[in-house]
Amino acid sequence: MIESLHYLIGGFAVAGTPQNLLYCLGGAIVGTLIGVLPGIGPIAGIALLIPITFGLNATSALIMLAGIYYGAMYGGSTTSILMNVPGETASVITCIDGYRMAQQGRAGPALAIAAIGSFIGGTIAIFGLVLIAPPLAQAALVFGPAEFFSLMVFGFVVLSNVTGGSLIKNLMMTIVGLIIGTIGLDPVTGNERFTFGSAYLLGGIEFVAVAIGVFGIGEILSTAAKPAELLDQQVIVPRLRDLFPTRDDLKRSIGAILRGTGIGFAVGLIPGPAPVIATYASYMVEKRISKHPEEFGKGAIEGVAGPETANNAATQSAFIPLFVLGIPFGPVTAILLGALLIHGVTPGPLLIAESPQLFWAVVASMYIGNFILLLLNLPFVPLFAQILRVPKRILLPLIMLICITGMFSVNNSLPDIWTMLGFGVLGYILRGWAYEGAPLLLGLVLGPKLEVAFRQSVMISHGDLAFFVQRPVSLALLVVTAGFLLFPLAKRVVALLRRKPVAATVASTTAEKEHS
C-alpha cells in the first residue's frame, strides 16, 4: 500500500507535466464532445482519434485516450438530460428521470448532480484501482496459457450474456469476430490464412477500420435512414445560474452516489459493457430502496445521481482487467488494448512491474482528468447545449468526412477506408437484424491471443484437453462460463415444462366442453 502511494506520487509528477496536463485536458474536452454528440460513441470516437496520438510517447497517448473515454462518459449525460437522446449507450437510463427533470425546468440540477456524481464515483473507483491492481497483477503472474484461454472464453460468454439481446446471436457475433481475427499470418506458424494472395490482408484486418465501420458508419447510416422530421429534436438550454442543486437535491443524491460508486466499481471488474450494466443495476437498486419509488420516471434526482455515478466508476474499474490481465472485458477497453499495442505497450501482469511510470502516470492522470471534467462540465454545459443545436443534416456529413480522414490517417492507406466502409455496411445490416457489434469487436481483438493461448496449452499438455480443467483457476473460470451458458437454457426448459401442463389442461377442458 505504502509502495503504491509512493509510485502514485511519482505518477502525479509525470502526469502533472505541462505537456501531459495538456493531453489530459485535450482528451477530456474531446471525450466530452464525443459523449455530447449523438451518433459518435466512445468506441468509434477513440478509434478515430488513435492516429492523433501517433506522434506522442505511450504515456501521453494513453493519458489522452483514457481522458477521451471517461470524458465521453461525462458528456453522454448532457444529451440524455437536455434532448432525451443518449449520447452513448451508458446514458440511456439517465434519459428517464434526467429529461423529466429538464422538462420541469430542473435541467441545471440534473446536469450538476450528474457531474458531481461522476466525479465522486470516478475518483473513488481510481482509488480502488490503486488498491486492487498491484496485488491482482502479482496473483496473475501464475497464469499460464490455459488460464488465459479460459479467462478469454469466460469473457466472451459473459459479454454475450449481458450485452443484451439474444445469447445465441451474441455468441455468433463473437465467433464472426474470431474468424475475422484469423485473417492474415498465423500467429504461431507464420503461414498465410484467408489472404487470397493480397498483400493488404497479410497484416490482418485493421481493428480500427472495424470499430469505426461497425460503430461509427453503422450509426451514421442508421441515423441517415430516419425520416428527415425525426432527425432533429428540441434542446433545452439551461442557464448557468440555474445549475446549482438545492440542499434537498444534494441530501437525496448523496446515498445514490455512494451506492452507484460501489455498484459501478464491482461491475467494471466483470466482462461486459460495464458502464451500461452499471447504470441499469444502479437505477434498479435506487428504485427498489427508495422511500418514493413512484417518483422514478417522473424526475427523481436519485435516478440521475446513481446511474451517472455508476457508469463513471465502472469506466475506471474496467481499466483493472485491461492493465493487470491484458484482457479487455468490453469493446472500449478492447480498442484501448489495440491502441496500447500500436504504441508498443503490452498490458498484462508484468505491466506494473516493467512499466511503472506509464501505469502510475495514467492512474494519476485519471484523478486530474476527473477534476478537470468537473470544472469543465458545469460552466460549459450551456456551450455544449448549443453544439447540440447543430442540425443532424449538417452533423452527419461532417462526421462521415472525419471518419474517412481519420481512417486514412491510421496507416495512410486507401484500402483501409474501403475496409471501414465495408464494415460500416455490415454494421448497418447487423443493426437491422438486431445483432450486436460489441462481441464482434472483442472477438476480433482477442482472436489472435485466444488462438495462441489454446495452441500453447494443447502443445504443453500433448493434446490432452483435460489440462484446462486440471488447473484450479482455469477450472473455476470454465465452471462459471458453463453456468452462464446453461442458465438461460435451463430457464427456457423450465418455462416450456411449466407451459406444457397449462396447455394440456386448457386443451382437455376445451375437448370436454366440445364433447358435452
Partner 1 sequence: MTGAIALFCFGAVTALLSLQYPLGSLRMPGSGFLPLALGVMLMGLAAAQSAQVRAARTTPAESGPAEPAKAGDDGRRVLFFMGAVAAATALLGPLGFVPMSFLLMLVLLRLMGERRWMACGLIALASSAASQLVFVIWLKIPLPGGIFGF
- Residues within the interface to partner 1 (CB under 8 A): 51-52, 166, 168-169, 171-172, 175-176, 178-179, 182, 186, 188-189, 191, 193-194, 220-222, 224-228, 230-231, 392-394, 396-398, 400-402, 404-405, 408-409, 412, 414, 417-418, 421, 424-425, 428, 430, 432-435, 451, 454-455, 458-459, 462-463, 465, 499
What is the rounded end-to-end Cα distance, in angstroms, of the chain? 81
Of the candidates 498, 367, 358, 376, which has an alpha carbon nearest to the alpha carbon of residue 35?
A: 376
The secondary structure of residue 246, as a DSSP letter, is P
What is the Cα–Cα distance from 246 to 243, expressed in whole angstroms? Answer: 10
How many residues are recorded in the chain? 516
Between 404 and 475, CB nearer to partner 1: 404
User: Least separation, in Å, of the C-beta of 402 and partner 1?
Assistant: 8
Strands 184-185 and 192-193: antiparallel
CB 252 within 8 A of CB 283: no
User: Least separation, in Å, of the C-beta of 463 and partner 1?
Assistant: 4
Question: Using H for helix, E for strand and C for coil, what is the string for 124-180?
Answer: HHHHHHHHHHHHHHHHHCCCCHHHHHHHHHHHHHHHHHHCCCCHHHHHHHHHHHHHH
Residue 302 identity (one-letter amino acid): E
Phi, psi (5° rounding) for residue 182?
-85, -10
Between 357 and 409, CB nearer to partner 1: 409
Between 378 and 387, CB nearer to partner 1: 387
User: Least separation, in Å, of the C-beta of 192 and partner 1?
Assistant: 8
User: Least separation, in Å, of the C-beta of 14 and partner 1?
Assistant: 24
Residues 6+ apart with CB under 8 A from 256: 117, 282, 286, 301, 302, 305, 306, 309
Quote the cell numbers at residue 344.
508498443
Between 57 and 357, CB nearer to partner 1: 57
Between 25 and 115, CB nearer to partner 1: 25
Q: Which helix (H) or strand (E) holds 438?
A: helix 438-460
Between 49 and 113, CB nearer to partner 1: 49
Between 35 and 184, CB nearer to partner 1: 184
What is the Cα–Cα distance from 88 to 253, expressed in whole angstroms? Answer: 23
User: Least separation, in Å, of the C-beta of 491 and partner 1?
Assistant: 14
User: Least separation, in Å, of the C-beta of 493 and partner 1?
Assistant: 13
- Burial of residue 514 (CB within 10 Å: 0-12, 13-18, 19+) is exposed
User: Least separation, in Å, of the C-beta of 55 and partner 1?
Assistant: 8
Between 190 and 516, CB nearer to partner 1: 190
What is the Cα–Cα distance from 63 to 69, expressed in whole angstroms? Answer: 10
Between 165 and 379, CB nearer to partner 1: 165
**Read out DSSP for 178-193?**
HHHHTSEE-TTT--EE
User: Least separation, in Å, of the C-beta of 428 and partner 1?
Assistant: 7
User: Least separation, in Å, of the C-beta of 442 and partner 1?
Assistant: 14
User: Least separation, in Å, of the C-beta of 503 and partner 1?
Assistant: 9
Between 1 and 502, CB nearer to partner 1: 502
Residues 6+ apart with CB under 8 A from 131: 1, 4
Helix axes 42-49, 392-411, angle to 10 degrees: 40
Q: Mark out the alpha helices in 182-295 (DSSP H runs).
A: 207-211, 218-224, 228-231, 247-268, 274-289
CB 69 within 8 A of CB 315: yes
User: Least separation, in Å, of the C-beta of 389 and partner 1?
Assistant: 15
Between 21 and 224, CB nearer to partner 1: 224
Quote the cell numbers at residue 376.
469543465
Of the candidates 380, 52, 82, which has an alpha carbon nearest to the alpha carbon of residue 234?
A: 82
